Amino acid sequence: MAHAVLPYWRLSAYYFFYFGCAGLLATYLSLYLQSLDFSAAEIAVLMSLMQVMRLLAPNLWGWLAERMGVRIPIIRLSALASLAGFSLFFVTTRFEGLFVAMALMAFFWSAALPLVESVTFNHLGAQAHRYGRIRVWGSIGFIATVLSVGHALDFMPMEALLWMTAGVLGGIIVCVFVLPDAGRPEPKQAVGGLWATVSQPRVKALLGACFFMSAAHGALYFFFPIHLVGHGYGKSMVGWMWTLGVLAEIAVFLSMPRLTRRWTLRTLLIASFVAASVRFVVIGWGIDSVALLSGAQLLHGLTFGAYHAAAIALINQWFEGHLQSRGQALYGSISFGAGGMLGGLLSGLVWDVVGPAWTFTIASGFAFAGLLWLLHGWRGE
């Protein structure tokens, strides 16, 4: 049952700082690693540790939260430990040291979001349609940090990124210590075990399609900034390109209640996969056209905004009662974890061999594979 008073601003503040930090890591960390003269393959390995830990850690943390019957203490521990792991970036520039730093940070970073998503939906209760209006603050945080840091890095050394990221991680810590837990709903009569839920054809279709969608985004999250800077765009332009995509994402999040009244969640997912298939081809081959890049970035509203809102709503519906935390963890592990790891590592391996255009074409192929998987595995409501 949801709390009588929804802690809207405390939940929103968490999303603001969490996705603000995610924006810094996705947008500028690869540029920082490139400034240390790492190869594309080495950058891909380091960046992929975020996905590796999303594959492994959320299920462990979800199981622990279910076993102990607590979520907020684990969320607080993850915030403190994430900053501790990131602090190793200040003491080494060697590949081995940064590997350890990324692994530690990612292991604890991966613990938080699935648990916070579960807490958020428990607070919302029957008002789950309001999720987008809370999650939108994550997009606003993404924009605020990416734009401000992008302009700053046009005048400051890349090392300044470390201090700014640490500051945002500190903001997360403040948020989690004022974040209230929510009473968990009683399991419904129909709730079975985790395997019984996962074995449903529609659930397998969704999780498999999410795997391919995250694989498609691997090149974007690992190498889009390098792609832009390599073609003469400044770091502030990198920030503006990301901002354009996130503005489209915000518009979709705010429109989700209206969109879901008109179209089913399955239809919105299909539209997002079609958009992703087009978007990555355009990014790969249209790099010299600001107009084409802008159009491709606007498709982010579908390829992430509509896709994520629909997917997470379905996970919340299908993984009922005591399975909610583990359902969110499984979604994160299979999609952002396994899928993101595959897409990112493959991009790193082929980037210097076939070039950026064909790398993004491969990403488009992943999105199209996800579309086919979804259509074949989930044939209707």
User: In a 3-state reduction of DSSP, which class is residue 90?
Assistant: helix
- Tokens, residue 212: 């391919």
pTM of the prediction?
A: 0.78
Query: What is the average pLDDT score of the chain?
Result: 88
Max mean pLDDT among 66-70, 98-102, 111-115, 306-310 falls in: 98-102
At the second CATH level, the architecture of 8-182+194-377 is Up-down Bundle (1.20)
Residue 192 has a pLDDT of: 60
Tens of pLDDT, residue by residue over 46-92, are 998 988 887 777 778 777 877 787 888 999 999 999 999 999 999 99
Instruction: Indicate the residue type of 45.
Output: V
Percent of the chain with pLDDT over 70: 95
Candidate from 94-98, 102-106, 238-242 with smallest mean pLDDT: 238-242
Residue from 266, 217, 268, 206 nearest 245 by CA? 217
Residue from 87, 63, 85, 88 nearest 74 by CA? 63
pLDDT classification of 114: cutoffs 50, 70, 90: confident
The structural domains of the chain, with segments of one domain joined by +, span: 8-182+194-377
C-alpha atoms less than 13 angstroms from C-alpha of 314 in its C-beta half-sphere: 27
Residue 1 has a pLDDT of: 41
- Tokens, residue 268: 């919105």
Q: What is the CA 254 to chain-centroid distance, rounded?
A: 18
- Give the residue carrying structure tokens 């990198």: 238
Pairwise CA distance, residues 327 & 337, whole Å: 14
Contacts of 174 (CB under 8 A, 6+ apart): none
Q: Is the pLDDT of residue 281 over 90?
A: yes
Candidate from 140-154, 181-195, 351-365 with smallest mean pLDDT: 181-195
Q: Is the pLDDT of residue 190 over 70?
A: no
Residue from 55, 98, 337, 78 nearest 221 by CA? 337
pLDDT classification of 183: cutoffs 50, 70, 90: low
Tens of pLDDT, residue by residue over 245-260, are 989 988 988 888 889 8
Average pLDDT, integer, range 293-305: 95
Average pLDDT, integer, range 127-145: 84
Candidate from 73-82, 87-96, 160-169, 322-331 with smallest mean pLDDT: 322-331
Residue 381 has a pLDDT of: 58
Q: Check residues 134 and 373 and name the one with the higher pLDDT.
A: 373
pLDDT classification of 4: cutoffs 50, 70, 90: low
Pairwise CA distance, residues 237 & 12, whole Å: 27
DSSP string of 205-223? HHHHHHHHHHHHTHHHHHH
Q: Are 268 and 312 contacting, i.e. CB atoms less than 8 angstroms apart?
A: no
CA dihedral 311, 313, 319, 323 (to 10 degrees): 100
Q: Is the pLDDT of residue 204 over 70?
A: yes
